[in-house]
């Protein structure tokens, strides 16, 4: 089970483009000890292959299949971008960086999808003024 901690969350971010946003998510994953710094470029590479935008103003940047060796432990980070950042014509206001070892990658994606499928949840995540509010919204799922 993955635990979303306060240090995994960054509020009120501003990015000029998606690469900057993905790099920030990767840097946060690296700072938290989930991945090595080399994972960040694999996140950019992955988004170039297939967009990491999943709808409902949410993007879930993560590494390529060949970047699994760069993951130290499973974890997620949440970056709140209230003003949004453009992901190939889609406004993204919530960036959830993912690093999953083995099958945990799919479990993380599933949990995030369950939370973010409801627009009400996404709006609450975007409007959250504290890290605790974000943690509470994910508590219903596996990653809390």
Residues 6+ apart with CB under 8 A from 23: 40, 43, 44
Of the candidates 40, 31, 41, 39, the one whose C-alpha atom is nearest the C-alpha of residue 9 is 31
Return the CA Rg of the chain.
13
Residues 6+ apart with CB under 8 A from 5: 135
Asked if residues 80 and 32 have their Cβ atoms less than 8 Å apart, the reply is: no
Tell me the C-alpha distance between 41 and 44, whole Å.
Answer: 5
Known catalytic residue: 105? Answer: no
- Greatest CA span in the chain, whole angstroms? 37
In the numeric block, which tokens belong to residue 22?
């993905």
Annotated catalytic residues are 62
């Amino acid at each position: 089970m993955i635990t979303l901690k306060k240090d995994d969350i960054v509020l009120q971010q501003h990015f000029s483009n998606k690469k900057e946003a993905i790099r920030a998510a990767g840097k946060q994953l690296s700072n938290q000890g989930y991945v090595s710094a080399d994972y960040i470029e694999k996140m950019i590479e992955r988004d170039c292959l297939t967009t990491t935008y999943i709808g409902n103003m949410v993007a879930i940047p993560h590494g390529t299949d060949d970047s699994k060796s760069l993951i130290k432990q499973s974890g997620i980070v949440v970056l709140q971008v209230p003003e949004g950042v453009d992901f190939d014509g889609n406004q993204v206001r919530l960036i959830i960086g993912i690093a999953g070892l083995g099958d945990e990658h799919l479990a993380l994606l599933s949990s995030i999808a369950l939370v973010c499928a409801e627009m009400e949840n996404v709006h609450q995540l975007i409007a959250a003024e504290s890290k605790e509010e974000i943690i509470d919204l994910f508590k219903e799922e596996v990653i809390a």
